[in-house]
C-alpha cells in the first residue's frame, strides 16, 4: 500500500494516490506532531502538550489513545503507528514525507551555492520550494508546544527563498527575479535579505530609483511593525545604490561547471587557455523553460558555433519564449567564449538606444561611468579595444529596431552577437535570422503539466487549457503558475473560466507576468509610428477588434478601411511586421485568439473614448 504524508501546507495523507479523511483538528495535531519526528518515539506527555494548548482534561491520555486508534484505521496499516515506551512512533519510509524531501533538496541547494555552482543550486532550491502548498500544517491549531516547531519549518522556507534569490542573482537573472522577489517580500516583509536581493536586482536592471524606493518601503515597514531601523547590511546597500558604487554590478564570474552537466570540449584548433572573467549569464529557470525547443536550440547553437561567426537574431511574437531560448543557448555555449559572455536586456534600460547598450556593456567590462566616452562612435571604439583578440559572446535581448544594435555589429570583429526581437530585423546586414513559433500541441501539454504541479491531471482538460493559451509559453507559464497556487481549481473549472472570452486576458495575468501587457508593447509601438501604413494598420486593428475578426485578406481590409487594395496590403503587412497578425497563406492573415481578444478590448476602449469626446462637444 502506498502512503504519502504532506505537512507543507494543509495536512494531507494520500493512500494509493487518494486523500484520506484525517478527522478532528486535535487528531490532525497528533499526526502533525508525529510527522515532525518520523521514525522516533514521541512521549505521551509531549503529545498531550502538542494537542491541548490549554490545560489538558483528565481524560487527555484516554482521548489520545482514541485518536491513535482512529489514525491507525485511517492509514490502513496497523504497524505504521505503534506503541513504544514511553509513547508512540510513526514509521515513514523514504519518499513518503514532503518535509524530508524539502530538507534534502534545501541542503543540496545550499551546498551547491557554497561551492559556487549557482545553476545546480537553483535547480535544487526550486525543487525544494515546489513542495510547499501554503503555511506548514496551516489547518492545525497552534499549541504552545507545536507552534514553534511549525515556525521553524516556515523559517527554513524563508532560508530557501533567500538562497534561491542569491542563486538567481549569481546567474544574472536580475530582470526575471524582480517580479518574484516583489511577491516574496510582500509575503515576508521582515526578511531584510530578501529586501536586499530585490534592491540589487532592481539596480542591476538599471532601475536605481525603484531600488531606492524598495529600501524606503522596507524601512517604513520595519519601523511601523517592529520599531527598528534597517540593519547595517541593508543600510550599506542603500548607501551604495545612492553612490552608484561600481561594486554593485554583477560580480565577474565565469560559470562554474556543474559536474552533472559537463561542458563540451573546445573546438578543434581552439586553445584551452585560462578563462577570462565574464558577467554572469542569465540561465533557464529549470527544465520546464525549453520544453519542445530542441530543434530551435540546436539550430541556434550551430549558428553560434559557425565559422566565420555571424550575428544571429531570434524573432517571434510576444510571449513565444525568445529570451528563454537565447539565454539557454548562450549559457550552453559559454565555455567556448573565454573572453567573456555578457547579457543586456534593452527593455530594462531607461533609454534603450545604441549608446545606452554600449554603456551597459562597458560597465560590465569594468569601466566606471566617468571612463566611458560621451560620444557613440568613441564608445564603440572603446568596446572594440576592450574586446580585441578576445572571443566574446554578447546577448542583446528585446531589441525593437535595427538602430539599437547596428553600431555594434561589425565594429567588433571578435564579438559574436545573439539578438532577440519581435520584428524581423531585416535591415541588418549579414545576420542569420531564426524564427520562433508557438509550441506544438504535445510540447504545450508537457509544459503545462510540469508547471501546474498536479499529482493527477486530466489530459483532455490540459490540452483544452493549452489551446485556450494559443500554445504560447508565456500564457502557459501564467496558467501553470495559477493552477499550482490555486489547488482548489480543477483543470476543467479553469478551462471553463478561460473559455469566457471576456475574462480570459484577466486570468492570464499573474503578478508582473501578463499576456495583455506583452501585447500592449506591440500595440504601443504601432501607435507611436507616424507613417501612412502605420495609420492604416492602426485603423485596421481597431476595425478588426470592433468586429471580433481574426482572419483578413486585402479585399476585406480594403472594405473595412474604405481604401484601395494596395493600402490594405500595406496595413496588413505592417500588422504582420509587429506580430499582431500572421501571414498563413497568400493574401490571408490571421490573429491568434489572445491577440483578437486584446484587439476587441482596444476597440471597446477606443469607442468609449470617442463617445466621451462626442459628449464633451455636445
pLDDT tens digit string along 430-463? 899 999 999 999 999 999 988 887 767 789 999 9
pLDDT at 279 over 70: no
> Residue 207 and residue 297: Cα distance in Å, rounded?
31
Confidence of residue 250 (pLDDT cuts 50, 70, 90): low
Question: What percentage of the chain reaches a pLDDT higher than 90?
Answer: 41
146 pLDDT higher than 60? yes
User: What residues have CB less than 8 Å from 130, skipping those under 6 apart?
Assistant: 453
Report CA Rg, the chain.
Answer: 28
What is the mean predicted confidence (pLDDT) over 542-563?
A: 94
Q: Residues 459-509: pLDDT tens digits? A: 999 999 999 999 999 999 999 888 887 778 889 999 999 999 988 998 898
User: Considering only 216-220, 388-392, 571-575, which range has the smallest mean pLDDT?
Assistant: 388-392
pTM: 0.57
Please give the order of strands across the beta sheet that includes 12-15. 3-6, 12-15, 18-19
- Is residue 82 very low, low, confident or very high in pLDDT (cuts 50, 70, 90)? very high
* pLDDT reading at 136 higher than 90: yes
Q: What is the pLDDT of residue 281?
A: 47
Q: Could you give the percent of the chain with pLDDT greater than 70?
A: 89
Can you read off the three cell numbers belonging to residue 177? 527575479
pLDDT of residue 302: 92
Q: In the predicted model, is pLDDT for residue 282 greater than 60?
A: no
Three cell numbers at 101? 524531501
The whole-number average pLDDT for the span 337-366 is 82
DSSP 608: H
Is 315 or 388 the better-scoring residue by pLDDT?
Answer: 315
Top CATH class of 294-435 equals: alpha beta
Q: Is the pLDDT of residue 353 over 70?
A: yes
pLDDT value of residue 367: 77
Question: Does domain 173-245 sit in CATH 1.25.40.10?
Answer: yes
Average pLDDT of span 274-298: 56
pLDDT at 1 (0 to 100) = 59
Q: Which residue's entry shows cell 506532531? A: 33
**pLDDT value at residue 4:** 92
Architecture, CATH, for domain 1-171 = Orthogonal Bundle (1.10)
Is the separation of the CB atoms in 44 and 61 below 8 Å?
A: yes
What's phi and psi for 420, nearest 5 deg? -120, 140
Q: What mean pLDDT is predicted for residues 539-557?
A: 95
Q: In the structure grid, which three cell numbers stand for residue 199, read together?
A: 534592491
Domain boundaries of the chain, sorted by first residue: 1-171, 173-245, 294-435, 441-511, 516-617
> Does residue 342 register a pLDDT over 90?
no
Cell numbers that stand for 172 in this block: 544574472
Whether residue 308 has a cis bond before it, omega within 30° of 0: yes
| Mean pLDDT calculated for residue range 68-95 | 88
**Cell 547590511 sits at which residue?**
233
Say yes or no to pLDDT of 288 above 60: no
Q: How far is CA 152 from its chain centroid?
A: 28
Answer with the residue of higher pLDDT: 175 or 150. Answer: 150
pLDDT at residue 241 is higher than 60: yes
Position 251 scores a pLDDT of 44
- For residues 521-544, average pLDDT: 84
The answer, yes or no, to whether residue 340 has pLDDT greater than 60, is yes
More confident residue, 189 or 308: 189
Confidence (pLDDT) at 30: 94
Tens of pLDDT along 38-58?
Answer: 999 999 998 999 898 778 888
Q: How far apart are CA 429 and CA 316, in angstroms?
A: 19
CA gap 381, 398 in Å, rounded: 24
Note the pLDDT of residue 63: 92
pLDDT at position 268 is 41
Q: Which of 20-24, 479-483, 511-515 shows the lowest mean pLDDT across its residues?
A: 511-515
Q: Would the pLDDT of 114 be above 90?
A: no
Q: What is the pLDDT of residue 530?
A: 62
Residue 285: predicted pLDDT: 35
Range with lowest mean pLDDT among 241-245, 271-275, 356-360: 271-275
Name 415's bridge partners: 392
Cell of 514: 501578463
CA-CA-CA-CA dihedral for 474, 476, 480, 482, to nearest 10: 70
Question: How much is the pLDDT for 280?
Answer: 43
Q: For the domain bounded by 516-617, which CATH number is listed?
A: 1.10.10.10
User: What is the arithmetic mean of pLDDT over 224-236?
Assistant: 85
**DSSP conformation class of 171:** T
Q: In b/e form, how buried is each residue of 73-102, taking b as 16+ CB within 10 angstroms?
A: ebbeeeebbeeeeebbbbebeeebbbbbbb
Distances in Å between the Cα of 230 and the Cα atoms of 162, 184, 189, 212, 314 are 17, 18, 12, 13, 44
Q: Are 218 and 191 in contact (CB under 8 A)?
A: no
* Backbone phi and psi for residue 71, each to the nearest 5 degrees, phi listed first: -65, -40
**Residue where the block lists cell 512512533:** 89
Same fold for the pair 1-171 and 516-617: yes
- The answer to whether 539 and 574 have CB atoms below 8 angstroms apart is no
What does the pLDDT look like over 296-310, one tens digit per residue?
Answer: 999 999 999 888 888
- What element of type H or E holds 127? helix 118-129
Give the pLDDT score at 607.
57
Residue 419, beta-bridge partner list: 313, 396
Higher-pLDDT residue of 205 and 455 is 205
Grid coordinates belonging to 402 = 535595427
What mean pLDDT is reported for the chain?
Answer: 84
Amino acid at each position: 500500500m502506498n502512503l504519502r504524508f504532506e505537512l507543507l501546507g494543509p495536512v494531507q495523507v494520500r493512500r494509493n494516490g487518494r486523500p484520506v479523511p484525517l478527522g478532528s483538528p486535535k487528531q490532525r495535531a497528533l499526526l502533525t506532531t508525529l510527522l515532525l519526528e518520523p521514525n522516533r518515539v514521541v512521549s505521551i506527555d509531549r503529545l498531550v502538550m502538542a494537542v491541548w494548548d490549554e490545560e489538558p482534561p483528565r481524560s487527555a491520555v484516554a482521548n489520545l489513545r482514541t485518536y491513535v486508534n482512529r489514525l491507525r484505521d485511517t492509514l490502513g496499516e496497523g504497524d505504521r503507528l505503534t506503541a513504544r515506551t514511553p509513547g508512540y512512533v510513526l514509521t515513514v519510509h523514504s519518499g513518503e514525507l514532503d518535509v524530508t524531501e524539502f530538507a534534502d533538496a534545501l541542503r543540496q541547494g545550499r551546498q551547491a551555492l557554497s561551492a559556487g555552482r549557482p545553476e545546480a543550486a537553483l535547480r535544487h532550491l526550486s525543487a525544494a520550494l515546489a513542495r510547499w502548498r501554503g503555511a506548514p500544517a496551516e489547518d492545525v491549531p497552534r499549541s504552545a508546544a507545536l507552534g514553534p516547531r511549525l515556525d521553524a519549518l516556515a523559517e527554513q522556507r524563508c532560508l530557501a527563498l533567500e538562497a534561491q534569490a542569491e542563486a538567481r542573482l549569481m546567474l544574472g537573472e536580475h530582470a526575471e527575479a524582480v517580479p518574484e522577489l516583489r511577491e516574496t517580500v510582500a509575503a515576508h516583509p521582515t526578511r531584510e535579505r530578501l529586501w536586499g536581493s530585490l534592491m540589487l536586482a532592481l539596480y542591476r536592471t538599471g532601475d536605481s530609483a525603484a531600488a531606492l524606493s524598495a529600501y524606503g518601503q522596507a524601512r517604513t515597514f520595519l519601523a511601523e511593525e517592529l520599531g527598528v531601523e534597517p540593519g547595517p547590511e541593508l543600510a550599506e546597500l542603500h548607501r551604495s545604490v545612492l553612490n552608484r558604487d561600481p561594486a554593485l554590478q554583477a560580480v565577474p564570474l565565469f560559470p562554474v561547471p556543474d559536474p552533472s552537466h559537463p561542458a563540451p570540449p573546445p573546438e578543434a584548433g581552439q586553445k584551452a587557455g585560462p578563462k577570462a572573467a565574464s558577467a554572469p549569464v542569465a540561465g533557464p529557470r529549470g527544465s520546464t523553460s525549453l520544453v519542445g525547443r530542441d530543434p530551435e536550440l540546436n539550430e541556434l547553437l550551430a549558428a553560434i558555433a559557425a565559422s566565420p561567426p555571424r550575428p544571429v537574431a531570434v524573432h517571434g511574437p510576444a510571449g513565444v519564449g525568445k529570451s528563454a531560448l537565447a539565454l539557454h543557448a548562450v549559457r550552453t555555449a559559454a565555455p567556448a567564449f573565454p573572453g567573456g559572455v555578457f547579457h543586456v536586456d534593452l527593455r530594462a534600460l531607461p533609454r534603450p538606444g545604441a549608446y545606452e547598450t554600449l554603456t551597459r556593456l562597458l560597465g560590465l567590462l569594468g569601466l566606471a561611468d566617468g571612463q566611458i566616452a560621451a560620444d557613440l562612435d568613441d564608445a564603440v571604439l572603446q568596446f572594440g579595444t576592450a574586446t580585441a583578440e578576445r572571443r566574446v559572446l554578447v546577448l542583446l535581448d528585446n531589441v525593437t529596431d535595427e538602430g539599437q544594435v547596428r553600431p555594434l555589429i561589425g565594429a567588433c570583429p571578435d564579438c559574436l552577437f545573439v539578438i532577440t526581437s519581435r520584428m524581423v530585423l531585416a535591415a541588418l546586414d549579414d545576420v542569420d535570422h531564426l524564427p520562433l513559433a508557438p509550441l506544438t500541441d504535445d510540447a504545450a501539454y508537457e509544459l503545462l503539466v510540469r508547471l501546474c504541479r498536479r499529482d493527477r491531471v486530466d489530459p483532455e482538460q490540459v490540452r483544452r487549457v493549452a489551446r485556450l493559451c494559443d500554445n504560447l509559453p508565456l500564457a502557459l507559464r501564467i496558467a501553470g503558475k495559477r493552477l499550482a497556487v490555486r489547488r482548489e481549481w480543477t483543470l476543467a473549472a479553469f478551462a471553463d473560466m478561460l473559455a469566457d472570452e471576456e475574462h480570459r486576458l484577466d486570468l492570464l495575468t499573474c503578478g508582473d507576468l501578463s499576456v495583455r501587457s506583452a501585447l500592449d508593447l506591440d500595440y504601443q509601438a504601432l501607435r507611436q509610428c507616424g507613417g501612412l501604413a502605420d495609420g492604416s494598420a492602426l485603423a485596421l486593428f481597431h476595425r478588426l477588434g470592433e468586429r471580433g475578426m481574426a482572419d483578413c485578406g486585402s479585399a476585406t481590409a480594403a472594405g473595412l478601411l474604405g481604401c484601395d487594395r494596395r493600402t490594405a496590403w500595406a496595413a496588413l503587412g505592417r500588422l504582420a511586421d509587429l506580430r499582431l497578425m500572421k501571414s498563413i497563406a497568400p493574401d490571408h492573415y490571421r490573429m491568434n485568439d489572445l491577440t483578437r481578444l486584446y484587439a476587441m478590448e482596444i476597440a471597446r476602449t477606443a469607442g468609449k473614448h470617442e463617445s466621451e469626446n462626442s459628449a464633451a462637444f455636445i
